[in-house]
Chains A and B, each alone.
Chain A
Amino acid sequence: MGKRVLLIEDEPNIIEAISFILSRDGWTVHTHEDGMTAMDKVLGFPPDMIILDVMLPGRSGFDILRDLRGNDLTKDVPVMMLTARGQEKDRDLAMRLGANHFMTKPFSNTEVRDFVRDLMRA
Chain B
Amino acid sequence: MSFNSLIAIALGYVIFLFAVAFLAERRAIAGHSNWLQSPIIYTLSLSIYCTAWTFYGAVGYAARSGLEFVTIYLGPTLMMVGWWWVLRRLVRIGRAQRITSIADLVSSRFGKSTQLGIIVTLISVIAGTPYIALQLQSVTLSFAVFSQVEGVSWDQADFYRAAVWVAIGLAVFTVLFGTRNLDANERHHGIVMAIAVEAVVKLLALVAVGAFVVWGVAGGPGAMLARIDASEINLWDQNSGRWIGLIFLSAAAFLCLPRMFQVLVVENADERHLHIASWAFPLYLFLMSLFVVPIAVVGLDLLPAGSNPDLFVLTVPLNQGQGGLAVLSFLGGLSSATSMVIVATLALATMVSNHMVVPLWLRLQGSQHATMSGDVRHVILLSRRLSIAAILALGFLYYRVSGGGTALAAIGLISFTGAVQILPAMIGGVFWRGATGVGAAMGLITGLLIWLWSLFLPSFGADAIISEAVMTNGPWGLNWLRPQALFGITDLDPLVHGIMWSMLLNAGMFVIGSLVTFPAPLERLQGAQFVNVFDHSNAAPTWTPAAAGAEDLLIMAQRIMGGNEAQAIFEQEAKAQGKAGYLPEVTLEFIERLERELAGSVGAATAHAMIGQLIGGSSVSVEDLIAVADEAAQILEYSNRLEEKSKEQERTARALRDANAKLTALSIQKDAFLSQISHELRTPMTSIRSFSDILREGEMSTDEQARYAGIIHDEAVRLTRLLDDLLDLAVLENGQVVLHEQTGNLSDLLDRAVRTSGAYDGRLTILRHRPDENFNLTADLDRLGQVFINLISNARKYCDAATPELTIKVGRSSMGAFVDFIDNGSGIASDNQALIFEKFSRLTDGSKAGGAGLGLAICREVMQRLGGDVAYLANVAGGAFRVTLPPAKNPAKLEQT
Contact = CB atoms under 8 A, between A and B. Distances in A.
Contact of B847 (A20, A58, A107, A110): A58
A87 B671 CA distance: 10
Nearest to B718: A13
A85 B673 CA distance: 11
A106 B679 contact: no
A85 B679 CA distance: 5
A17 B700 CA distance: 14
Nearest to A105: B686
B675 A87 contact: yes
A35 interface: yes
Contacts of A56: 846, 849
B691 A105 contact: no
Nearest to A110: B693
B846 A57 contact: yes
A21 interface: yes
B688 interface: yes
Contacts of A104: 682
Contacts of B848: 57
Contact of B682 (A10, A106, A108, A109): A106
Interface in B471-498: none
A104 B678 CA distance: 11
B846 A107 contact: no
A56 B714 CA distance: 22
A105 B687 CA distance: 9
A107 B686 contact: yes
A121 to B, nearest CB: 23
Interface residues of A, number: 27
B679 A17 contact: no
Interface string B834-871: 00000000000111111000000000000000000000
A59 B846 contact: yes
A109 B683 contact: no
A84 interface: yes
Interface in A55-82: 55-59
Contact-residue size bin, chain B (C-beta under 8 Å from the other chain): 20 to 34
A86 interface: yes
Contacts of A107: 686, 689-690
A114 to B, nearest CB: 13
Given A21-B690, A55-B850, A58-B846, A105 B683 contact: yes
A84 B690 contact: no
Contacts of A109: 690, 693-694, 697
Contact of B711 (A13, A86, A106): A13
A56 B689 CA distance: 21
A11 B711 CA distance: 12
B686 A108 contact: no
A86 B846 contact: no
A105 B681 CA distance: 10
A21 B694 CA distance: 8
Contacts of B686: 11, 14, 17, 84, 105-107
B846 A35 contact: yes
Interface in A1-43: 10-11, 13-14, 16-18, 20-21, 35
A10 B849 contact: yes
Contact of A86 (B682, B689, B714): B682
Nearest to A54: B679
B780 interface: no
Interface string B560-594: 00000000000000000000000000000000000
A105 B850 CA distance: 15
A101 B848 CA distance: 27
Interface in B738-774: none
A80 B679 CA distance: 18
Contacts of A17: 686-687, 690-691, 694
A55 B691 CA distance: 21
A14 B847 contact: no
B849 A85 contact: no
Nearest to B693: A109
Nearest to B850: A55
Interface in B660-710: 675, 678-683, 685-691, 693-694, 697
17 contacts: A13-B711, A13-B714, A14-B686, A17-B694, A35-B846, A55-B850, A58-B847, A83-B679, A86-B675, A86-B678, A87-B678, A105-B682, A106-B686, A106-B689, A107-B690, A109-B697, A110-B693
Interface of A: 10-11, 13-14, 16-18, 20-21, 35, 55-59, 83-87, 104-110
Counting from the closest, the 7 A-B pairs by CB-CB distance are A84-B682, A17-B690, A13-B687, A105-B686, A106-B686, A109-B693, A106-B689
Given A13-B687, A57-B848, A110-B693, 4 more contacts: A13-B715, A35-B846, A106-B686, A109-B690
